[in-house]
Amino acid sequence: MNESVNIKRSPIVLIRTLVFIEIMGFIAYAIAAQLDHYKYEIYSGLSLPDILSYQSAKILFLSIAQFTLTIYAFLRWYYESYTMRPRSISHQRGVFFKKNKTTPLQKTMSLTITSGPIGKMLHYGSVHIENGDSNNSIVLSDISRPGQQLKTLEKLVAGTNNRFSGAPNVARLISEDEHDKLEFKSSLRFDYKTQSVNHNLEKATMKTIAAFLNSKGGHLVIGVDNSRKPLGLENDYKTLKRQNSDGFENHFTQIFNKMIGPEFRNLVKLNFKKIEGADTCVAQVIQSPRPVYLKLDDNEQFYVRTGNATTPLKLSEVESYSRSRFEKN
């Protein structure tokens, strides 16, 4: 499934809202009837007595109020929708102030349906998409035929396992020069010049990852220098509590979540391979469906790939780039 699917909330939601408006209107009218003398004083203070009678003014006011609320209820229902894509689902809503929340789909997500007796009879209900984190959860509330939409979602979530095009061929990668979808890093955090940990190297790695996410994806090979000589990960391992590939991936995930965000972690897969007897790590990166900002020293920066370089964009350039790159998705 490569195309997006747009889902509207059930028309029952609109009908339910209109019934609620009618009930509240009746209650408001009953309360207002007890304050008739105040309403007449307001009416008398206006220029309406020369145009409309008191009874006609009341009918006109109630009609305008009901019409306005009905139009607002319809527009609110009309502009609210959910869009399912191969790697994410978004919720659009708002009449005057538009809001859009995008949630990435992950293989660990649980999908459940809730529907009351009336919902089962009229074929509507809610689909809950949860991942143990409220920021990465979303509810498709009161949609038509939720069972059918659940099957589509299950295919999308299952498809997150197959987004990476197999295990990378490291020997082939290091035979190439760096380009817009390939870069080499000698290490993740071990500085060969100072023979110590250098956190700026971690930042440089995350810059490249963010640039791949904002561009067309790519491969970052860690443990290979710019001359394509395998250096291995042993020196990185020695700086970690768990001195192996598991400790390396755990540390990578920690700095990734801090600098880029856990919601994008499912777009990056680490592969550990031996080249000439040395461990190397290939980070496979899939292009992100929405902009990715790198958090550095309390600032957010935006990076893209331009040729074989990682390039920061100015704020004015980010807006133009985002329109051309992300609105297509």
Q: Can you tell me the distance from the alpha carbon of 125 to that of 93, in angstroms, rounded to the nearest whole number?
A: 18
pLDDT recorded at residue 197:
95
Domain boundary among 111, 134, 163: 163
SS (H, E, C) 243-261: CCHHHHHHHHHHHHHHHCC
Q: Are 284 and 168 in contact (CB under 8 A)?
A: yes
Q: What are phi and psi of 188, to 5 degrees?
A: -85, -40
Q: Are residues 17 and 84 in the same domain?
A: yes
Phi-psi region of 53 (alpha: psi -120 to 50; beta: other; left: phi over 0): beta
Q: Are residues 97 and 156 in the same domain?
A: yes
CATH number, domain of 277, equals: 3.30.950.30
pLDDT recorded at residue 113:
87
Angle at 57 between CA 53 and CA 63, to 5 degrees: 145
**Can you give the residue range of the structural domain that contains 27?**
1-163
Q: Can you tell me the distance from the alpha carbon of 184 to that of 269, in angstroms, rounded to the nearest whole number?
A: 16
Domain boundary among 163, 187, 207: 163
pLDDT recorded at residue 224:
93
Phi-psi region of 198 (alpha: psi -120 to 50; beta: other; left: phi over 0): beta
As beta bridge partners, residue 168 has none
Q: Are residues 61 and 154 in the same domain?
A: yes
Q: Are residues 184 and 98 in the same domain?
A: no
pLDDT recorded at residue 87:
72
Strands, E assignment, the chain: 5-8, 81-84, 88-93, 99-104, 110-114, 124-130, 138-144, 182-185, 190-191, 196-197, 218-222, 268-275, 278-285, 294-296, 299-301, 303-306, 309-312
Q: Are residues 188 and 314 in the same domain?
A: yes
Q: Which residues of the chain have pLDDT under 50?
A: 1-2, 329
pLDDT recorded at residue 329:
47
Q: Are residues 94 and 223 in the same domain?
A: no
Q: Are residues 13 and 80 in the same domain?
A: yes
Q: Are residues 25 and 154 in the same domain?
A: yes
Q: Are residues 142 and 176 in the same domain?
A: no
CATH number, domain of 44, equals: 2.30.29
The rounded Cα 136 to chain-centroid distance in angstroms is 8
**Residue 326 is encoded by which pair of tokens?**
């992300």
Q: Can you tell me the distance from the alpha carbon of 304 to that of 214, in angstroms, rounded to the nearest whole number?
A: 6
Q: Can you tell me the distance from the alpha carbon of 31 to that of 37, in angstroms, rounded to the nearest whole number?
A: 12
Report strand pairing: 196-197 vs 182-185.
unpaired
User: What domain count does the chain have?
Assistant: 2
pLDDT recorded at residue 58:
75
Q: Are residues 126 and 258 in the same domain?
A: no
Domain boundary among 143, 163, 183: 163
Q: Are residues 152 and 25 in the same domain?
A: yes
- Coil vs helix vs strand at 212: helix
As beta bridge partners, residue 163 has none
The rounded Cα 111 to chain-centroid distance in angstroms is 17
Q: Are residues 110 and 209 in the same domain?
A: no
